[in-house]
Amino acid sequence: MELFNTLGGKVETLEPVGAAELRMYCCGPTVYDYGHIGNFRTFLHVDVLRRFLRQQGMALKFVMNITDVDDKIIRNASAAGKPIAEYTEKYERAFFEDSDALGILRPEIVAHATSCIPDMVGMIQKLAAEDIAYRAEDGSWYFRIARFPEYGKLSRKDFDGIEDGARVDVDEYEKDAARDFALWKACKAGEQSWDTDLGCGRPGWHIECSAMATKFLGESLDLHCGGEDLMFPHHENEIAQSEAASGHTFARHWMHVRFLLVEGRKMSKSEGNFYTLRDLLLKGYRASAIRFLLISVPYRHQMNFTFESLLESTNAIDRLRTFHQRMLKGGFAEGRDEALAAATAKAEEGYTASLTDDLNTAEARAAIFELVRAANSAADAGTLRSGNVTEILRVLDLFDGVFAVLKDNDAEITRAALVWAEHEGRLAEASPELVTKLSMPDEEIEKLVAERTHAKKVRNFARADGIRNELLAKGILIEDSKDGVRWRRK
């Protein structure tokens, strides 16, 4: 597996060092609100990487943190009149519900910042013993950047010309130098705090990830992942404090996922183009199409999310699922067409080679769709054989093991979103067509489809057409083909 390493500035081989499994960490969510699609683009590409590495036989130990205490959380929880734990529980639960809806595999280990306070205190004490951490007059603790000459090696920023007084890492506490960052923040009235050997206070954001990563993965990680917005100062500070405390390389390989634009603009609430997964589900878009779109542009490319591209993604998934059902249900003659067998092998090779080469999801996807085109053409021409079907289904299984879009549970996910919207008083935001479409359960649809098939058999075409129109009015399409009758929700 070749993957771009932000630290080295080039594509390098990704492999575990000194262990049987790859030790992998990803900066998880700060649970102060619902996650937006930019957040999930990062988590989806990390999911694609995990799935592919496992598919290639690599053992993984993956840790993701939950930041359940920071300035935003304290501010929002206070405004809501709730304890921090009660406030964050809702949004942590929502994060994993959304992750499940998008097909993101759960981490092997989920680390909570509030459960690792002693580990953070211990790391700060190590830094203090070397005079790399110091205590300010108000009781806060800071990292002395001047004592870490390699500061800036990840983001390649030059800090030599920055003088005291410059705004580099903004916080509200007094410190010796502008570049120094908070490790521990002294108590403030009304804020949750912990009584420790450092004094009363709470951790700074950066120390949380260092302590959690090293607690569960050791002093040196094989891979650290996150969005490119975290590269500086968060990841730079992680490196500084971790390596200053241990004397070892903190993470050998760094993967950063590029930003996401929406309709060509930076996503923000003030621009009116800020979307959570739930916002899109209530508009009638499918979770599978959102997943497919967000991973179709390689992680090192900036992505422009548009509603036109989301519709294209929906159509692409319909094509894949229709093809998959055709392979499963079609009655094909015995034998094996050699030309199609060669095309199938080429598609598998292209899929694997593309993902091996810096996780090129666009090329991997293209290889599979070329196979779909070739196999459909062969089926239409009558040259597709049962031996080919076995091989094609195996390649589709490989593809879906990483892209995870063939299973159709979209209606179930959207129904759950409607239940949530009703509970939160947001049902009015849902598309009326969506509510109508999902009012009919699958079992009822199956009965009507069977009744229509019988009506056609006894030549009651008026009733057959009536059923088709009834289902169409509720957003259900019936497709007749030589392989049988299929239905799907629009």
- d(C-alpha 326, C-alpha 380), whole Å: 11
Q: What is the pLDDT of residue 351?
A: 98
pLDDT tens digit string along 387-416? 999 999 999 999 999 999 999 999 999 999
Structural contact between residues 488 and 288, judged by C-beta atoms closer than 8 angstroms: no
Phi/psi of residue 273, each to 5°? -125, 30
Class of domain 265-403: mainly alpha
Phi/psi of residue 13, each to 5°? -70, 130
The pLDDT-based confidence of 164 (bands split at 50, 70, 90) is: very low
Longest CA span, the chain: 90
Of the candidates 64, 34, 140, 155, which has an alpha carbon nearest to the alpha carbon of residue 424? 34
- d(C-alpha 328, C-alpha 320), whole Å: 12
- d(C-alpha 144, C-alpha 350), whole Å: 49
Is the pTM value of this prediction over 0.85? yes
Q: Is 327 helix (H, G, I), strand (E, B) or coil?
A: helix
Pair of tokens at residue 448: 């009507």
Identity of the amino acid at 158 = D
Of the candidates 89, 32, 31, 17, which has an alpha carbon nearest to the alpha carbon of residue 65? 31
Could you tell me what percent of the chain has a pLDDT over 70?
95
Domain residue spans of the chain: 2-257, 265-403, 414-489
- d(C-alpha 25, C-alpha 116), whole Å: 16
Residues forming beta bridges with residue 370, ordered by sequence position = none
pLDDT tens digit string along 68-109? 999 899 989 988 889 999 999 999 999 999 999 999 999 999
Identity of the amino acid at 45 = H
Structural contact between residues 95 and 396, judged by C-beta atoms closer than 8 angstroms: no
Identity of the amino acid at 145 = I
Q: Does residue 439 surpass a pLDDT of 70?
A: no
Pair of tokens at residue 215: 């607690």
Length of the chain (residues): 490
pLDDT tens digit string along 244-283? 999 999 999 999 999 999 999 999 888 889 999 999 999 9
Identity of the amino acid at 399 = F
The tally of CA atoms less than 13 A away on the side-chain side of residue 171 is 25
Pair of tokens at residue 213: 């990563």
Positions of E strands within 115-240: 133-135, 141-143, 181-186, 194-196, 199-203, 221-227
Q: What DSSP character marks residue 197?
A: T
Identity of the amino acid at 233 = P
Of the candidates 195, 181, 198, 197, which has an alpha carbon nearest to the alpha carbon of residue 139? 198
Q: What is the pLDDT of residue 94?
A: 97
Regarding the domain delimited by 2-257, which CATH topology (the fold level of the hierarchy) does it fall under?
A: Rossmann fold (3.40.50)
Q: Does residue 430 surpass a pLDDT of 50?
A: yes
| Residue given tokens 């990680």 in the structure block | 221
The pLDDT-based confidence of 168 (bands split at 50, 70, 90) is: very low
The tally of CA atoms less than 13 A away on the side-chain side of residue 275 is 22
The pLDDT-based confidence of 51 (bands split at 50, 70, 90) is: very high
CA distances to 52, 55, 199, 348, 395 from 399, in Å: 9, 10, 53, 9, 6
Q: What DSSP character marks residue 106?
A: P
